Chain A
Amino acid sequence: MNYLIDIVLIALSAAVINNFVLYYFVGICPFIGVSKKVDMAFGMGCAVTFVICIAAFLSWSITTMVLIPGAPVSSFFAGFFLPAEAASKIDLTVLSYIVYIFAISSSVQFVEMYVRKFYPSLYNSFGVFLPLITTNCAILFACLTIMANVAGVENPQDAWDLGRSIVLALFGGIGFTIAIVIMSGIREEIELCDIPKPFQGAAITMIIGGILALAFMGFTGVDSGVRKAITPAPAEGTAAVMTLDHDHVHPWDARVIVKEMRLS
Protein backbone atom coordinates (compact mmCIF):
# COMPACT_ATOMS: atom_id res chain seq x y z
CA MET A 1 0.00 0.00 0.00
CA ASN A 2 2.80 2.39 0.92
CA TYR A 3 4.51 1.49 -2.32
CA LEU A 4 1.38 2.32 -4.27
CA ILE A 5 1.05 5.69 -2.54
CA ASP A 6 4.68 6.43 -3.34
CA ILE A 7 4.18 5.58 -7.00
CA VAL A 8 1.05 7.72 -7.30
CA LEU A 9 2.74 10.68 -5.63
CA ILE A 10 5.91 10.41 -7.71
CA ALA A 11 3.84 10.23 -10.88
CA LEU A 12 1.64 13.17 -9.97
CA SER A 13 4.56 15.27 -8.85
CA ALA A 14 6.65 14.58 -11.95
CA ALA A 15 3.82 15.11 -14.42
CA VAL A 16 2.08 18.25 -13.19
CA ILE A 17 3.09 19.65 -9.81
CA ASN A 18 6.82 19.91 -10.42
CA ASN A 19 6.62 19.86 -14.19
CA PHE A 20 10.06 19.35 -15.74
CA VAL A 21 9.79 22.34 -18.06
CA LEU A 22 7.72 24.80 -16.12
CA TYR A 23 9.11 24.15 -12.65
CA TYR A 24 12.66 22.84 -13.05
CA PHE A 25 13.43 24.60 -16.36
CA VAL A 26 14.94 21.52 -17.99
CA GLY A 27 14.31 20.92 -21.67
CA ILE A 28 13.81 24.60 -22.43
CA CYS A 29 15.61 24.37 -25.79
CA PRO A 30 13.03 22.10 -27.50
CA PHE A 31 10.29 23.93 -25.60
CA ILE A 32 11.23 27.10 -27.49
CA GLY A 33 12.59 25.54 -30.66
CA VAL A 34 10.16 22.75 -31.57
CA SER A 35 6.87 24.21 -30.36
CA LYS A 36 5.58 25.84 -33.53
CA LYS A 37 3.26 23.03 -34.67
CA VAL A 38 1.20 20.72 -32.48
CA ASP A 39 2.09 17.51 -34.33
CA MET A 40 5.83 18.28 -34.28
CA ALA A 41 5.59 19.07 -30.57
CA PHE A 42 3.76 15.83 -29.91
CA GLY A 43 6.41 13.86 -31.83
CA MET A 44 9.14 15.52 -29.82
CA GLY A 45 7.32 14.79 -26.58
CA CYS A 46 6.94 11.11 -27.49
CA ALA A 47 10.61 10.83 -28.44
CA VAL A 48 11.71 12.42 -25.17
CA THR A 49 9.39 10.20 -23.11
CA PHE A 50 10.77 7.13 -24.85
CA VAL A 51 14.42 8.05 -24.40
CA ILE A 52 13.95 9.23 -20.82
CA CYS A 53 12.56 5.80 -19.84
CA ILE A 54 15.54 4.01 -21.38
CA ALA A 55 17.92 6.44 -19.70
CA ALA A 56 16.19 5.94 -16.34
CA PHE A 57 16.49 2.17 -16.65
CA LEU A 58 20.18 2.44 -17.54
CA SER A 59 21.03 4.97 -14.86
CA TRP A 60 19.21 3.07 -12.13
CA SER A 61 20.97 -0.17 -13.12
CA ILE A 62 24.39 1.43 -13.37
CA THR A 63 24.04 3.31 -10.10
CA THR A 64 22.86 0.28 -8.16
CA MET A 65 25.13 -2.30 -9.77
CA VAL A 66 28.35 -0.35 -10.24
CA LEU A 67 28.55 3.09 -8.71
CA ILE A 68 27.33 3.08 -5.10
CA PRO A 69 29.55 1.73 -2.30
CA GLY A 70 29.13 -2.01 -1.99
CA ALA A 71 27.62 -2.37 -5.45
CA PRO A 72 27.93 -5.98 -6.67
CA VAL A 73 29.88 -5.43 -9.89
CA SER A 74 32.48 -2.97 -8.62
CA SER A 75 33.16 -4.90 -5.41
CA PHE A 76 33.46 -8.14 -7.40
CA PHE A 77 36.16 -6.70 -9.64
CA ALA A 78 37.89 -4.84 -6.83
CA GLY A 79 37.93 -8.10 -4.89
CA PHE A 80 40.69 -9.43 -7.15
CA PHE A 81 43.28 -7.00 -5.83
CA LEU A 82 41.86 -5.57 -2.60
CA PRO A 83 40.92 -7.16 0.71
CA ALA A 84 37.21 -7.91 0.99
CA GLU A 85 36.18 -5.13 3.38
CA ALA A 86 38.00 -2.48 1.32
CA ALA A 87 36.45 -3.82 -1.88
CA SER A 88 32.94 -3.42 -0.50
CA LYS A 89 33.59 0.27 0.20
CA ILE A 90 34.60 1.27 -3.32
CA ASP A 91 32.65 4.44 -4.12
CA LEU A 92 32.48 5.35 -7.77
CA THR A 93 29.72 7.97 -7.55
CA VAL A 94 32.22 10.68 -8.51
CA LEU A 95 32.21 9.18 -12.00
CA SER A 96 28.44 9.34 -12.28
CA TYR A 97 28.15 12.35 -14.61
CA ILE A 98 30.58 10.94 -17.15
CA VAL A 99 28.95 7.52 -17.02
CA TYR A 100 25.42 8.91 -17.42
CA ILE A 101 26.20 11.16 -20.33
CA PHE A 102 28.00 8.31 -22.04
CA ALA A 103 25.09 5.94 -21.41
CA ILE A 104 22.57 8.47 -22.71
CA SER A 105 24.41 9.35 -25.89
CA SER A 106 25.26 5.77 -26.80
CA SER A 107 21.75 4.50 -26.09
CA VAL A 108 20.26 7.26 -28.22
CA GLN A 109 22.56 6.23 -31.05
CA PHE A 110 21.47 2.59 -30.78
CA VAL A 111 17.79 3.47 -30.56
CA GLU A 112 18.09 5.66 -33.62
CA MET A 113 19.76 2.91 -35.66
CA TYR A 114 17.26 0.30 -34.48
CA VAL A 115 14.21 2.43 -35.22
CA ARG A 116 15.54 3.45 -38.63
CA LYS A 117 16.13 -0.17 -39.61
CA PHE A 118 12.99 -1.84 -38.27
CA TYR A 119 10.30 0.86 -38.05
CA PRO A 120 10.88 3.27 -40.94
CA SER A 121 7.45 4.92 -40.59
CA LEU A 122 8.04 5.59 -36.89
CA TYR A 123 11.47 6.92 -37.75
CA ASN A 124 9.98 9.35 -40.24
CA SER A 125 7.55 10.70 -37.67
CA PHE A 126 9.92 11.30 -34.75
CA GLY A 127 13.34 9.96 -35.68
CA VAL A 128 14.65 13.35 -36.69
CA PHE A 129 14.38 14.49 -33.08
CA LEU A 130 16.42 11.64 -31.65
CA PRO A 131 19.94 13.07 -32.14
CA LEU A 132 18.81 16.37 -30.64
CA ILE A 133 17.66 14.59 -27.52
CA THR A 134 21.18 13.59 -26.49
CA THR A 135 21.81 17.12 -25.34
CA ASN A 136 18.41 17.57 -23.77
CA CYS A 137 18.74 18.51 -20.12
CA ALA A 138 15.52 16.69 -19.19
CA ILE A 139 17.11 13.28 -19.74
CA LEU A 140 20.18 13.99 -17.63
CA PHE A 141 18.00 15.67 -15.02
CA ALA A 142 15.92 12.48 -14.64
CA CYS A 143 19.13 10.44 -14.25
CA LEU A 144 20.45 12.84 -11.60
CA THR A 145 17.19 12.76 -9.67
CA ILE A 146 17.30 8.98 -9.67
CA MET A 147 20.92 9.05 -8.52
CA ALA A 148 20.09 11.44 -5.69
CA ASN A 149 17.36 9.06 -4.56
CA VAL A 150 19.50 5.93 -4.83
CA ALA A 151 22.96 7.05 -3.70
CA GLY A 152 22.13 10.15 -1.71
CA VAL A 153 19.74 8.67 0.87
CA GLU A 154 20.83 7.99 4.42
CA ASN A 155 18.80 4.82 4.96
CA PRO A 156 19.42 2.03 2.45
CA GLN A 157 15.71 1.11 2.76
CA ASP A 158 14.71 4.54 1.43
CA ALA A 159 16.62 4.06 -1.82
CA TRP A 160 14.40 3.98 -4.87
CA ASP A 161 13.85 0.72 -6.69
CA LEU A 162 13.58 0.31 -10.44
CA GLY A 163 9.80 0.74 -10.45
CA ARG A 164 9.88 4.18 -8.80
CA SER A 165 12.65 5.33 -11.14
CA ILE A 166 10.79 4.26 -14.26
CA VAL A 167 7.58 5.90 -13.02
CA LEU A 168 9.45 9.17 -12.41
CA ALA A 169 10.92 9.07 -15.91
CA LEU A 170 7.70 8.07 -17.65
CA PHE A 171 5.59 10.73 -15.99
CA GLY A 172 8.32 13.33 -16.29
CA GLY A 173 8.27 12.67 -20.03
CA ILE A 174 4.47 12.88 -20.06
CA GLY A 175 4.68 16.19 -18.20
CA PHE A 176 7.13 17.46 -20.79
CA THR A 177 4.74 16.39 -23.56
CA ILE A 178 1.81 18.12 -21.85
CA ALA A 179 3.76 21.36 -21.50
CA ILE A 180 5.13 21.43 -25.04
CA VAL A 181 1.77 20.51 -26.63
CA ILE A 182 -0.07 23.26 -24.70
CA MET A 183 2.66 25.68 -25.73
CA SER A 184 2.48 24.76 -29.41
CA GLY A 185 -1.31 25.06 -29.38
CA ILE A 186 -1.01 28.59 -28.01
CA ARG A 187 1.72 29.45 -30.50
CA GLU A 188 -0.37 28.29 -33.46
CA GLU A 189 -3.04 30.76 -32.39
CA ILE A 190 -0.60 33.54 -31.64
CA GLU A 191 0.69 33.44 -35.21
CA LEU A 192 -2.51 35.32 -36.06
CA CYS A 193 -2.00 38.04 -33.47
CA ASP A 194 -0.37 41.40 -33.94
CA ILE A 195 2.60 41.23 -31.59
CA PRO A 196 5.02 44.17 -31.32
CA LYS A 197 8.01 43.41 -33.49
CA PRO A 198 10.71 43.11 -30.79
CA PHE A 199 8.63 40.55 -28.93
CA GLN A 200 8.04 38.21 -31.84
CA GLY A 201 9.63 34.79 -31.57
CA ALA A 202 11.43 33.79 -28.41
CA ALA A 203 10.43 36.75 -26.23
CA ILE A 204 6.67 36.19 -26.44
CA THR A 205 7.23 32.44 -26.04
CA MET A 206 9.01 33.13 -22.75
CA ILE A 207 6.21 35.32 -21.49
CA ILE A 208 3.61 32.70 -22.41
CA GLY A 209 5.79 30.14 -20.64
CA GLY A 210 5.69 32.35 -17.56
CA ILE A 211 1.91 32.48 -17.60
CA LEU A 212 1.77 28.70 -18.07
CA ALA A 213 4.15 28.25 -15.13
CA LEU A 214 1.88 30.49 -13.10
CA ALA A 215 -1.06 28.29 -14.02
CA PHE A 216 0.85 25.12 -13.12
CA MET A 217 1.72 26.61 -9.72
CA GLY A 218 -1.94 26.11 -8.96
CA PHE A 219 -1.17 22.40 -8.58
CA THR A 220 1.11 23.11 -5.60
CA GLY A 221 -0.15 21.23 -2.58
CA VAL A 222 -2.21 18.76 -4.57
CA ASP A 223 0.28 16.06 -3.56
CA SER A 224 -0.32 16.49 0.18
CA GLY A 225 -4.07 16.45 -0.43
CA VAL A 226 -3.80 13.26 -2.44
CA ARG A 227 -1.55 11.70 0.19
CA LYS A 228 -4.12 12.50 2.86
CA ALA A 229 -6.92 11.10 0.75
CA ILE A 230 -5.29 7.76 -0.05
CA THR A 231 -3.35 7.10 3.16
CA PRO A 232 -5.19 4.62 5.39
CA ALA A 233 -6.67 6.26 8.47
CA PRO A 234 -4.15 6.34 11.35
CA ALA A 235 -4.72 4.13 14.37
CA GLU A 236 -6.57 5.54 17.38
CA GLY A 237 -4.66 8.10 19.37
CA THR A 238 -2.03 8.92 16.78
CA ALA A 239 -2.48 12.18 14.99
CA ALA A 240 -1.64 12.35 11.31
CA VAL A 241 0.72 15.28 11.00
CA MET A 242 1.41 16.69 7.59
CA THR A 243 4.87 18.19 7.61
CA LEU A 244 6.98 19.57 4.88
CA ASP A 245 10.09 17.46 4.39
CA HIS A 246 12.72 20.13 3.97
CA ASP A 247 15.45 17.84 2.73
CA HIS A 248 13.49 16.55 -0.23
CA VAL A 249 12.04 19.84 -1.33
CA HIS A 250 13.38 21.91 -4.15
CA PRO A 251 15.01 25.00 -2.59
CA TRP A 252 12.72 27.32 -4.50
CA ASP A 253 9.58 25.41 -3.71
CA ALA A 254 6.80 27.96 -3.43
CA ARG A 255 5.70 26.70 -0.04
CA VAL A 256 9.18 27.00 1.49
CA ILE A 257 9.78 30.48 0.15
CA VAL A 258 6.40 31.81 1.19
CA LYS A 259 6.83 30.27 4.63
CA GLU A 260 10.29 31.76 5.09
CA MET A 261 9.07 35.16 3.99
CA ARG A 262 6.31 35.06 6.55
CA LEU A 263 8.81 34.23 9.27
CA SER A 264 11.22 37.01 8.43
Chain B
Amino acid sequence: MADQPTALERFVQGILPENPVYRQLLGMCPTLAVTNGMKPAMTMACSVAFVLLCANIVTSLIRGLLKPHLRIVVFTLTIATFVTIADRVLAAYLYQMSKTLGPYIPLIIVNCLIICRCEVCASKQNVFTAASDAVGQSIGFGLALASIAMVRELLGTGGLFGIAILPTAWPDWVIMVLPPGAFITLGLLLGCVNWLEMRRS
Protein backbone atom coordinates (compact mmCIF):
# COMPACT_ATOMS: atom_id res chain seq x y z
CA MET B 1 0.00 0.00 0.00
CA ALA B 2 2.26 2.73 -1.23
CA ASP B 3 -0.40 5.41 -1.56
CA GLN B 4 -1.46 5.30 2.09
CA PRO B 5 -1.29 8.85 3.48
CA THR B 6 1.49 9.56 5.94
CA ALA B 7 0.98 10.58 9.55
CA LEU B 8 1.27 14.28 8.79
CA GLU B 9 -1.15 14.05 5.87
CA ARG B 10 -3.68 12.26 8.05
CA PHE B 11 -3.32 14.97 10.70
CA VAL B 12 -3.96 17.77 8.19
CA GLN B 13 -6.76 15.90 6.44
CA GLY B 14 -8.81 15.63 9.59
CA ILE B 15 -8.88 19.35 10.29
CA LEU B 16 -10.51 20.79 7.18
CA PRO B 17 -10.37 18.70 3.97
CA GLU B 18 -12.07 15.73 5.65
CA ASN B 19 -13.71 17.53 8.52
CA PRO B 20 -15.72 14.90 10.43
CA VAL B 21 -18.87 17.01 10.73
CA TYR B 22 -19.01 19.04 7.53
CA ARG B 23 -17.43 16.65 5.04
CA GLN B 24 -18.09 13.18 6.43
CA LEU B 25 -21.36 13.88 8.33
CA LEU B 26 -20.19 11.80 11.30
CA GLY B 27 -21.01 12.26 14.96
CA MET B 28 -24.23 14.18 14.42
CA CYS B 29 -25.90 13.50 17.78
CA PRO B 30 -23.48 15.51 19.97
CA THR B 31 -23.04 18.07 17.19
CA LEU B 32 -26.70 18.97 17.40
CA ALA B 33 -27.37 18.31 21.05
CA VAL B 34 -24.62 20.09 22.98
CA THR B 35 -24.02 23.15 20.79
CA ASN B 36 -26.49 25.43 22.55
CA GLY B 37 -23.52 27.06 24.31
CA MET B 38 -19.78 27.30 23.91
CA LYS B 39 -19.00 25.72 27.30
CA PRO B 40 -20.85 22.43 26.82
CA ALA B 41 -19.63 22.25 23.22
CA MET B 42 -15.99 22.61 24.26
CA THR B 43 -16.35 20.09 27.09
CA MET B 44 -17.86 17.68 24.61
CA ALA B 45 -15.06 18.27 22.11
CA CYS B 46 -12.43 17.58 24.79
CA SER B 47 -14.14 14.36 25.91
CA VAL B 48 -14.44 13.14 22.33
CA ALA B 49 -10.77 14.01 21.72
CA PHE B 50 -9.68 12.04 24.79
CA VAL B 51 -11.78 9.00 23.90
CA LEU B 52 -10.79 9.09 20.24
CA LEU B 53 -7.08 9.34 21.01
CA CYS B 54 -7.10 6.52 23.56
CA ALA B 55 -9.36 4.28 21.46
CA ASN B 56 -7.23 4.81 18.35
CA ILE B 57 -4.01 4.00 20.21
CA VAL B 58 -5.41 0.86 21.83
CA THR B 59 -7.02 -0.34 18.60
CA SER B 60 -3.77 0.23 16.77
CA LEU B 61 -1.84 -1.74 19.39
CA ILE B 62 -4.16 -4.74 19.19
CA ARG B 63 -4.71 -4.61 15.42
CA GLY B 64 -2.84 -7.90 14.92
CA LEU B 65 -5.23 -9.75 17.23
CA LEU B 66 -8.52 -8.51 15.72
CA LYS B 67 -10.82 -11.05 14.10
CA PRO B 68 -12.87 -9.56 11.25
CA HIS B 69 -16.31 -10.60 12.52
CA LEU B 70 -15.64 -9.49 16.09
CA ARG B 71 -13.92 -6.20 15.44
CA ILE B 72 -16.96 -3.92 15.85
CA VAL B 73 -17.69 -5.45 19.26
CA VAL B 74 -14.06 -5.01 20.29
CA PHE B 75 -14.11 -1.38 19.12
CA THR B 76 -17.29 -0.56 21.02
CA LEU B 77 -16.06 -2.24 24.20
CA THR B 78 -12.73 -0.36 24.01
CA ILE B 79 -14.57 2.92 23.47
CA ALA B 80 -17.03 2.17 26.27
CA THR B 81 -14.14 1.70 28.70
CA PHE B 82 -12.65 5.10 27.91
CA VAL B 83 -16.06 6.78 27.90
CA THR B 84 -16.64 5.44 31.40
CA ILE B 85 -13.33 6.99 32.48
CA ALA B 86 -14.21 10.34 30.88
CA ASP B 87 -17.67 10.26 32.43
CA ARG B 88 -16.33 9.56 35.94
CA VAL B 89 -13.69 12.31 35.62
CA LEU B 90 -16.28 14.85 34.48
CA ALA B 91 -18.62 13.86 37.29
CA ALA B 92 -15.81 14.30 39.80
CA TYR B 93 -14.33 17.62 38.65
CA LEU B 94 -17.03 19.34 36.56
CA TYR B 95 -20.18 18.13 38.26
CA GLN B 96 -22.47 20.87 36.93
CA MET B 97 -21.25 20.39 33.39
CA SER B 98 -21.70 16.63 33.55
CA LYS B 99 -25.28 17.24 34.71
CA THR B 100 -25.87 19.54 31.73
CA LEU B 101 -24.39 17.15 29.22
CA GLY B 102 -26.37 14.32 30.80
CA PRO B 103 -26.80 11.32 28.53
CA TYR B 104 -24.68 12.73 25.73
CA ILE B 105 -21.38 11.77 27.40
CA PRO B 106 -22.27 8.04 27.45
CA LEU B 107 -23.64 8.44 23.94
CA ILE B 108 -20.06 9.06 22.75
CA ILE B 109 -19.83 5.24 22.74
CA VAL B 110 -22.08 5.01 19.70
CA ASN B 111 -20.64 8.12 18.04
CA CYS B 112 -19.99 7.02 14.47
CA LEU B 113 -16.91 9.27 14.29
CA ILE B 114 -14.87 7.18 16.70
CA ILE B 115 -15.95 3.79 15.36
CA CYS B 116 -15.28 5.01 11.83
CA ARG B 117 -11.74 6.20 12.67
CA CYS B 118 -10.97 2.91 14.47
CA GLU B 119 -12.24 0.96 11.47
CA VAL B 120 -10.72 3.07 8.69
CA CYS B 121 -7.43 4.11 10.21
CA ALA B 122 -6.39 2.66 13.55
CA SER B 123 -7.02 -1.00 12.73
CA LYS B 124 -4.63 -0.79 9.78
CA GLN B 125 -1.91 1.69 10.82
CA ASN B 126 0.88 1.88 13.36
CA VAL B 127 0.44 3.68 16.66
CA PHE B 128 2.00 6.98 15.63
CA THR B 129 -0.13 7.36 12.49
CA ALA B 130 -3.27 6.39 14.39
CA ALA B 131 -2.54 8.91 17.14
CA SER B 132 -1.89 11.77 14.73
CA ASP B 133 -5.05 10.88 12.83
CA ALA B 134 -6.99 11.01 16.10
CA VAL B 135 -5.55 14.41 17.01
CA GLY B 136 -6.35 15.84 13.57
CA GLN B 137 -9.88 14.51 13.57
CA SER B 138 -10.53 15.80 17.09
CA ILE B 139 -9.32 19.28 16.16
CA GLY B 140 -11.62 19.22 13.15
CA PHE B 141 -14.50 18.04 15.31
CA GLY B 142 -13.78 20.72 17.91
CA LEU B 143 -13.70 23.45 15.24
CA ALA B 144 -17.01 22.27 13.80
CA LEU B 145 -18.66 22.20 17.24
CA ALA B 146 -17.24 25.65 18.02
CA SER B 147 -18.58 27.14 14.77
CA ILE B 148 -22.10 25.87 15.38
CA ALA B 149 -22.09 26.72 19.07
CA MET B 150 -20.82 30.22 18.38
CA VAL B 151 -23.68 31.02 16.00
CA ARG B 152 -26.27 29.51 18.28
CA GLU B 153 -25.10 31.05 21.53
CA LEU B 154 -24.46 34.48 20.02
CA LEU B 155 -27.87 34.71 18.38
CA GLY B 156 -29.73 32.85 21.11
CA THR B 157 -28.44 34.61 24.19
CA GLY B 158 -26.36 37.52 22.88
CA GLY B 159 -23.12 36.31 24.45
CA LEU B 160 -20.31 33.79 24.29
CA PHE B 161 -19.17 31.53 27.18
CA GLY B 162 -21.94 33.16 29.19
CA ILE B 163 -20.43 36.68 28.82
CA ALA B 164 -22.71 39.22 27.18
CA ILE B 165 -21.30 40.53 23.90
CA LEU B 166 -24.18 41.96 21.92
CA PRO B 167 -25.89 45.12 23.26
CA THR B 168 -28.77 44.54 25.64
CA ALA B 169 -31.17 45.82 23.01
CA TRP B 170 -30.56 42.55 21.14
CA PRO B 171 -33.77 40.51 21.21
CA ASP B 172 -32.59 36.99 22.13
CA TRP B 173 -33.60 34.51 19.47
CA VAL B 174 -34.65 31.84 21.94
CA ILE B 175 -35.32 29.43 19.11
CA MET B 176 -31.60 29.22 18.39
CA VAL B 177 -30.79 27.53 21.71
CA LEU B 178 -33.79 25.19 21.39
CA PRO B 179 -33.72 21.97 19.31
CA PRO B 180 -35.03 23.48 16.01
CA GLY B 181 -32.21 26.05 16.04
CA ALA B 182 -29.66 23.25 16.03
CA PHE B 183 -31.05 21.66 12.88
CA ILE B 184 -31.44 24.96 11.06
CA THR B 185 -27.98 26.29 12.00
CA LEU B 186 -26.25 23.07 10.98
CA GLY B 187 -28.22 22.94 7.72
CA LEU B 188 -27.29 26.50 6.79
CA LEU B 189 -23.62 26.11 7.77
CA LEU B 190 -23.43 22.85 5.82
CA GLY B 191 -24.84 24.64 2.79
CA CYS B 192 -22.31 27.46 3.17
CA VAL B 193 -19.39 25.02 3.42
CA ASN B 194 -20.60 23.21 0.29
CA TRP B 195 -20.96 26.54 -1.52
CA LEU B 196 -17.41 27.62 -0.63
CA GLU B 197 -16.10 24.23 -1.72
CA MET B 198 -17.87 24.56 -5.08
CA ARG B 199 -16.54 28.05 -5.69
CA ARG B 200 -13.00 26.96 -4.93
CA SER B 201 -12.98 24.07 -7.39
Interface residues of A (CB under 8 A from B): 22-29, 32, 94-95, 97-98, 101-102, 105-106, 134-137, 139-141, 144-145, 148, 196-199, 202-207, 209-211, 213-214, 217, 250-252, 254, 257-258, 261
Contacts and interface: CB of A to CB of B under 8 A. Distances in A.
Contacts of A217: 178-180
A137 B110 contact: yes
Given A199-B194, A203-B191, A261-B172, A140 B110 contact: yes
Given A198-B195, A203-B194, A213-B183, 5 more contacts: A25-B29, A25-B32, A105-B72, A136-B110, A210-B181
A56 to B, nearest CB: 15
22 contacts: A27-B29, A29-B29, A29-B112, A97-B87, A98-B81, A101-B80, A101-B110, A105-B76, A135-B72, A137-B111, A140-B107, A140-B109, A141-B103, A148-B103, A198-B191, A198-B192, A203-B188, A213-B183, A214-B180, A250-B102, A252-B36, A261-B174
Given A24-B33, A25-B182, A98-B81, A105 B73 contact: yes
Contacts of A209: 183, 187
B76 A135 contact: yes
Contacts, number: 136
B98 to A, nearest CB: 12
Contact of B109 (A97, A148, A204): A97
Interface residues of B, number: 48
A145 B187 contact: no
B177 interface: yes
Contact of A145 (B103, B172, B198): B103
A215 B18 CA distance: 33
B83 interface: yes
What secondary structure prevails in chain B residues at the interface with A? helix
Closest 7 CB pairs of A and B: A206-B187, A210-B183, A198-B194, A210-B184, A207-B187, A198-B195, A28-B28
A25 B182 CA distance: 9
Given A105-B73, A198-B195, A252-B36, A94 B107 contact: no
B84 interface: yes
B198 A197 contact: yes
Contacts of A27: 29
Nearest to A135: B110
Contacts of B107: 26, 137, 140-141, 144
Contacts of A257: 174, 177-178
A101 B111 CA distance: 12
Nearest to A214: B180
Contacts of B187: 199, 202-207, 209-210
A99 B73 CA distance: 12
Contact of A97 (B83, B99, B190, B191): B83
A17 to B, nearest CB: 12
Contacts of B194: 197-199, 203
B33 A98 contact: no
Contact of A210 (B33, B174, B180, B191): B180
A207 B81 contact: no
Nearest to B37: A252
B150 to A, nearest CB: 17
Given A25-B29, A28-B28, A258 B174 contact: yes
A144 B45 CA distance: 21
A32 to B, nearest CB: 7
A169 B73 CA distance: 23
Nearest to A253: B178
Contacts of B195: 198
A256 to B, nearest CB: 11
Nearest to A254: B178
Contacts of A258: 174
Contact of A101 (B76, B188, B198): B76
A139 B29 CA distance: 13
Given A32-B28, A134-B72, A97 B198 contact: no
Most buried by A among B29, B109, B188, B198: B29
B88 interface: yes
Contacts of B111: 137
Contacts of B103: 24, 141, 144-145, 148
